[in-house]
Structure 1
């Protein structure tokens, strides 16, 4: 960030970095230069056109409190793509050998957008950001992310699951290599799965991609099974267990007092074709359940 200051709490700011339009760059490594004491999260987006031409703008589209210092606009004009995300002082992420995230050149990501969610006022100039390692040498495998996200409400003094499931209906084979979870303070556990129906028994078979306590550092962690693949027709599912000990209901939203249920999958493909649709969404509890809404069975018990 170019020395931003803030006079409000819970502010999302974005800044654009225009890329080299001649050469494609392959991103290999990401490290946050930030402190979780005052920053809730950082997300690096790729997009064709930024949501605003200003050097810095307010990109908290869901926040109720408007920040008069900065113009308010979305992150991207259309189709934002999450490249990296960070929270709770997570360590750096290095992509596997021979894997790169292509940006610039003739890719759809002509701009990198840095989004920072600041918790509090920032009277001193803030220069938080990311350190990125890249190369112009083409990599044999291409990296991309898939975000599984829910809405939902957890009532006062209750524990519920926010669940989502989507079918892979594009002609690609995904090799997941890392995952990341994100909730606010009520998240207890977040897990992601690959689900196949056994044609003989009609029972669903569940394969864990990864699970993690979201109150730990919100790093991209290695998947449980590095040889796992996701093929067309497979179901990708996530579950966030939420515990609310407060005297009021908590609903998904963008402020720290609200909740979020996000499961990110970092995957690679042979060649260059990645998912066109990079988000899987459900309305969450109480509207959406794996068993009724998605017709899934043999559901894994909580650990």
Structure 2
């Protein structure tokens, strides 16, 4: 079977494609940034997206380095779309609303992060001032010609305009890549939870899924993500009902970085499970979604 390196566990639980630098290890680097946005936050928070088409060739992403101010950005996510973004559905500034009701007036709302696509996948996530990630040796995320990733979309979750300067917000990422194929392929498996947190409560939300496909997998990193009421995120591999291996656990009140997994192998049929612990000391219920709630 093909050995695949897998980035796990992400739980929820404008710009041009241009070369900026040739890095010492024969990797290239390019930016994906918001184009000087001035969010007004009519709903106290907004989700905005911008994107860049992948050239019609095979490229291999090897790392992500965030460039954002956590005083106004709660999180950023890079998404791979299976088709180029339909520019007829977005405005001329290559920016669109992508957070449902948490939107900005005067900006197009096509209904998704990848308008015109049938499918998408998470490639990277950043929150609360965390650092970036670089893939292990000879490992990459393939994008472009022979893949189902044709467009890269940056989603930014704004919750403040603190410190916003006259030229607007330029939050984004530097993406490192190579044009040399690697022997191992990286990807993200994400488990999500949704619901409403009752008032004056401590509650656990669980999620699980079964590993499919035919390839053996090796987990090398995990990330736990919640909004303000989250206290603990943990992830597990389940082979049998009485055979659980912890992938990792994190406090989502700390910088939400990808943390190393200690040499955990997974096979088709194994189950991934996640638990998110929330505490709500308020007098009203809190729906999933808004950071300020």
User: Fold match, TM over 0.5?
Assistant: yes
Match of 1:299 in 2: none
Residues matched between the structures, number: 247
Q: Which has the higher contact order (CA 8 A, sep 6+)?
A: 2
| 1:60 maps to which of 79, 99, 121 | 99
In structure 2, C-alpha distance between the alignment counterparts of 1:209 and 1:15, rounded to whole Å: 32
Q: Is the 8 A contact 2:71 2:160 kept in 1?
A: no
- Cα shift at 1:52: 4.5
Mapped pair 1:150 → 2:193: yes
In structure 2, C-alpha distance between the alignment counterparts of 1:151 and 1:92, rounded to whole Å: 26
Secondary structure at 1:233 match in 2:
coil
In structure 1, C-alpha distance between the alignment counterparts of 2:159 and 2:35, rounded to whole Å: 18
Distance 1:50 1:118, change over 3 A: farther
| 1:72 maps to which of 94, 109, 113 | 109
* TM-score calculated relative to the size of structure 1: 0.78
Match of 1:18 in 2: 53
Match of 1:214 in 2: 252
Mapped pair 1:180 → 2:217: no
In structure 1, C-alpha distance between the alignment counterparts of 2:143 and 2:212, rounded to whole Å: 25
Match of 2:81 in 1: 47
- Cα shift at 1:65: 4.4
**5+ residue gaps in structure 2?**
1-33
Moved over 3 A (4+): 121-124
Once superposed, what is the RMSD of the aligned Cα atoms?
Answer: 1.5
Match of 1:261 in 2: none
Mapped pair 1:5 → 2:42: no
| 2:274 maps to which of 226, 238, 249 | 238
In structure 1, C-alpha distance between the alignment counterparts of 2:84 and 2:73, rounded to whole Å: 22
**5+ residue gaps in structure 1?**
198-202, 259-303
* TM-score calculated relative to the size of structure 2: 0.80
In structure 1, C-alpha distance between the alignment counterparts of 2:120 and 2:273, rounded to whole Å: 22
Q: Is the 8 A contact 1:40 1:117 kept in 2?
A: yes
- Cα shift at 1:163: 0.3
Match of 1:191 in 2: 234
